[in-house]
Structure 1
Amino acid sequence: MSASSAKSLTQKFWDASSKIISTTEKHEFLTAMVDGSLAEDKFIYYVLQDCLYLTDFADCLHKLSLKAPNAAHKKRLAELALGAENDEKELHRSFFTKWGIDDSHVEAMPNTLLYTSYMLRVVSTRPYAEGLAVLLPCFWVYMHVGKVMLKLREELGDSVKRIPQFDAWIDLYASEEFEKEVSDYIAMVDDIGKDEIYVNEYDGDAEAMQSKMQEHFIMCCKLEHMFWDQANSLMKWPDL
């Protein structure tokens, strides 16, 4: 068996997106968070948009749990939906309390709406396999950049001072708890390539299924990058 054919389904997706991901891990927004130079208004903008994103992301996980063809997937997806809605957003809410911000009337900015609309469309209208794939970058890329940022923070040591919210964000996404969630999700996606029940939705064409899954994975890796671009530029809707 060749090295290529021995790769897991998700590793193939990751490899196909490696250029995008390697660029994202060095994104100015993220590196500035670690070295403490990120303007607080950019971080506040990001967190407000991310809270909106997580509402739709949790909804996507819930919708997938209802579509899942086996009990194990149903249970874990429902748990992950609760985790996104409660644990991740709890961090955001703690930031809002600290800043004295009311987030109840925040408008989704262009790249937020683009990303969430794409996810919701795929989860709602496409087969289960594609729904799983479209949500994977949010888990995996966040874990990856969290660990990259943690390493950079350790290299910088105590010479750099950051606002506490920056460190809290890094600690969450570089944590063992989050890594466990990501590992579980990756395992579910890899299950897809081992069960004919999923391939049957593509008339038995496994390559067609995997191609569509990879297409969504790559697109959402791009959208992840664009989400940080949006915060870094404080993107607004045109004033028409």
Structure 2
Amino acid sequence: MSFCQNIRKETNRYFEESFRHPFVKGLVNGTLPVEKFAYYMLQDAYYLKHYAKVLALTAVKVEKEADMKLFLEKAQFVQQSELMLHSTVFQELGITEEEVAHFTPAPAAYNYVSHMYQAVYNGDAAESFAAMLPCPWLYQEIGERYQDAKPGVKVYQDWIDMYSDSSFKQSIEEQIEMMDRYACENPHKSEILKQHFIRSCYYEWQFWEMPWTMQDWEREVKKYELVEHL
């Protein structure tokens, strides 16, 4: 099997946990409380802003012009399509500019972004891409699995429609092919590529937990304080 076939099999538990996570299930069946979705979209906008930057930083590290073009195109897609959806959703949900301006990333979002920056600054393009690929791959599989869902809530339907689009699947197939090529070109780095991918899968799962529990720094500190007193 190829690198991506192997790593997808090894991380299947994270994909399956995401498919059946109460946040995702609530989104696709329309029962997700809107305040949790609003919280998620704010955190996701923060994540995607930095995801686009990591894509651009990765483009600088590649030698092949075609690879550079792909990374820059993906960064542009995030800016023009995904973040545009977030902007529209903010308006539909009544999220104000003041709320956006005073936004604070939750621990899970902050840790995930830090993980990607660590990969791109301390590694090469292959390492950076291994840390980035789980995000769009997982979303494409969620979109495909629930493409026939009718949540009855416009903003949820728009989210499903974006990630179930056939062009998004084609993009993922191109990215998987690229990741396999990078793995073949860097056999001595197979373990670190694997670890970057696995950690991102873990953070993806945490990204659903984050809005479901409305995670914030204060509650996280109190949780550890409680453990210390037990």
TM-score by length of 1: 0.86
CA shift for structure 1 position 99: 2.4
Partner of 1:4: none
CA contact (8 A) 1:109 1:235 kept: yes
Unmatched runs of 5 consecutive residues or more in structure 2: 222-230
Structure 1 counterpart of 2:205, from 215, 218, 225? 225
Alpha-carbon displacement from aligned partner over 1:39-95 (angstroms, at most 9, x marks no partner): 000000000100000001000100011101211100110000111122100001001
Distance across 2 between alignment mates of 1:23 and 1:186? 21
| Partner amino acid, structure 1, of 2:156 | F
Distance across 1 between alignment mates of 2:102 and 2:80? 19
Bigger fraction of residues in helix: 2
CA contact (8 A) 1:146 1:171 kept: yes
Distance across 1 between alignment mates of 2:93 and 2:35? 11
| Partner amino acid, structure 1, of 2:139 | Y
1:52-63 paired onto structure 2 within 5 Å: 52-63=46-57
Segments ≥4 residues shifted beyond 6 Å = none
Question: Would you say how many aligned residue pairs link Structure 1 and Structure 2?
Answer: 217
CA contact (8 A) 1:33 1:162 kept: no
Which stretch of structure 1 is more off in the superposition, 89-98 or 142-151?
142-151
Partner of 1:203: none
Partner of 2:146: 149
Distance across 1 between alignment mates of 2:170 and 2:33? 31
Alpha-carbon displacement from aligned partner over 1:10-41 (angstroms, at most 9, x marks no partner): 11111110112112111110011111110000
1:1-240 paired onto structure 2 within 5 Å: 7-101=1-95, 102=97, 103-151=100-148, 153=149, 162-195=152-185, 199=186, 206=187, 208-238=188-218
Distance across 1 between alignment mates of 2:173 and 2:101? 33
Distance across 1 between alignment mates of 2:93 and 2:14? 33
| Partner amino acid, structure 1, of 2:26 | A
CA contact (8 A) 2:59 2:72 kept: yes
Alignment RMSD (CA, Å): 1.4
CA shift for structure 1 position 193: 3.3
Alpha-carbon displacement from aligned partner over 1:179-213 (angstroms, at most 9, x marks no partner): 12212211211111343xxx3xxxxxx2x411111
CA shift for structure 1 position 162: 2.4
CA contact (8 A) 2:126 2:183 kept: no
TM-score by length of 2: 0.90
Which stretch of structure 1 is more off in the superposition, 54-63 or 7-16?
7-16
CA contact (8 A) 1:31 1:149 kept: no
